[in-house]
Structure 1
Amino acid sequence: MSAATQATAAAAQQHESDRAAYRATLVELARADRRIWCLDSDMGGLEKQFQAELPDQYLDLGIAEANLMSVGAALASTGLLPFVNTMAAFASARALEQVKIDIAYHALPVRIVGTHSGFSAAHLGPTHHAQQDLAVMRSLPHMTVLTPADPAETVRMVNAAAQLPGPVYIRLGRGPTDPVYPGPAGFTVGKAVTLRTGGDVTLVAAGSHPVLFALEAARRLAAEGIEATVLNMHTIKPLDVPALVHAAEHTAGLVTVEDHSVLGGLGGAVGEALAEHRPARVLRVGMADAFCARPGDHRTQLKAAGVSPEHVIAAARAVLTGRSSPSSTEVPSAEASDITKESAS
């Protein structure tokens, strides 16, 4: 890591969100490498931070996400390294055909940066919620899929992504989150980070809130005499299968935690890998298979959908007792039922 990058990583400790850390890092990278371009879709802020300093490496395509991906592919085919910026929900749904055919099919080095992931656009409703993007993006050939745990890891991740040969999807939140790492740390694409070690159960988390929930759950479980390993699975594809196999062999089972649907995301990827390489008990803590139409902030909506430290604790206990799922008395089921009711209405 260069001195400049180390300085940016240190500064990232002061950023409140991974989105802010990403934008600062992108400017630094583009200063040093004129092949790096910023393609905007009226996201707000990039024109002040990036365009103001590097106008010749910036394009705003407006609210036209499909066109954004095609232009990014065209620029990448000429040898440039575009970072295309939009919301995660739009990158993985509205512009999916262009991501698939224009970018992934040709294995072009386009970095797709999807902000407002999961329920981080809570106030904007289901049209802007990204419950399916990990499932979509990891299914595309050639695509690397990354999601950081905090702003400092975002800096390391974006620097690493800039060096990768093919397309990359970087999944970011919107608002501020607490730091996970207290100081400098390493980062390797495809290699999970062990944040805590325990011999009873393994909690595998991806993304800022899920990693924080897993760490909180592990601390509370320790007070009960249950020791949990916590893995930050920042790379969804390529997945760190050896780390998962080790967890399956040395603990009673695994609990996955994600700000994404229980279908097809981190939980799906972990379940698929272990079914093939080392079958083990896996319980998934993720969003219920329903739209969320209720108002609320990010954490409130996650809890209502089935993602909270309490849900992680209940799943860990269920793994250890051999049950296939937590009992109804172990999780805040009333709020969880609200999401289904309101989504159906």
Structure 2
Amino acid sequence: MPTVNAYAAPSATEDLVPTTIERRAVGPRDVLIEIKYAGICHSDIHTVRGDWGPQQYPLAPGHEIAGIVTEVGAEVTRHKVGDRVGVGCMVNSCKECANCLAGEEQYCLKGMVGTYGAVDRDGTITQGGYSTHIVVTEDFVVTIPEGIDLDVAAPLLCAGITTYSPLRHRGAGPGKKVAVVGLGGLGHMAVKLAHAMGAEVTVLSQSLKKQEDGLRLGADHYYATSDAGTFEALAGSFDLIINTVSASIDISSYLQLLSLDGTLVNVGAPAEPLPVNAFALIGGRRAFAGSMIGGIRETQEMLNFCAEHGIGAEIEVIPADKINEAYERVLASDVRYRFVIDTATL
């Protein structure tokens, strides 16, 4: 089994450290990818610190992966050596259940296999993109179109598809009013994508300190949720709200901002429950929904859409030895808007 350089967490309470991990040999339908860039997602921090449950360590996180194909198995037909490719939040599924057959592998009824910290079909624990190489079955590798640089493409594999999927599914477009809660790694992508789809976009953020950025990224309006008057002024305003915040917020207050038959979709994943007042739902036939990444087909659609509209993530590229510092800055909301690791520094 090939050994590659990586950064991994030895435990839930220790900093990530340089190490080596094993990758499986390239099988008949596998693709070997030389990783060029790996985004840092808030999910990485939640996972390695055990916020979402116990993990097996050492654990190399990372599910926003952009790189170049360097080897393919004998039966691979979708990719070839030299292709620009990406890997997102999953690397396998049963491929047989109704959801997989519908192209919604993220909702595999037998459980999709996450890119890191998950048990793969062969019983091994997956290790993620904070590494120089990864081996993935071709069905879970997407093509990064020309016109999107690999560094700004990496976060699209999670932050991009996580926001694109509910926007598409819920009909964001001309004539629709969309609000985005939080202007961070997910939120800034939601703003860019909703704007490109033709919706009228409003950012709802704790303060106005990122207002200039929000308007530059495509928002039409920007409000501070710390101002109680915001909830009065915007009551009943939105067809769709995308909540990108990975922390507990007063969901019922945000539900009141929906118009008749409006929907609030949660894509942030806080460790704490989010209580909902039933009257906030039934009073306007409103819906509170969730969404998790997207299937492989939709992820490719998202990448093609981003290439067509010139969309990439707003990033800060860092060397591997700044990963732990980056984690602390993410937790302090001190990044605009995604850290991306240059894996040549591993």
Relative to the length of structure 2, the TM-score reads 0.27
TM-score by length of 1: 0.27
Which structure carries more relative contact order (alpha carbon 8 Å, separation 6+)? 2
More helix by share: 1
Q: Would you tell me which structure has more strand in proportion to its own residues?
A: 2
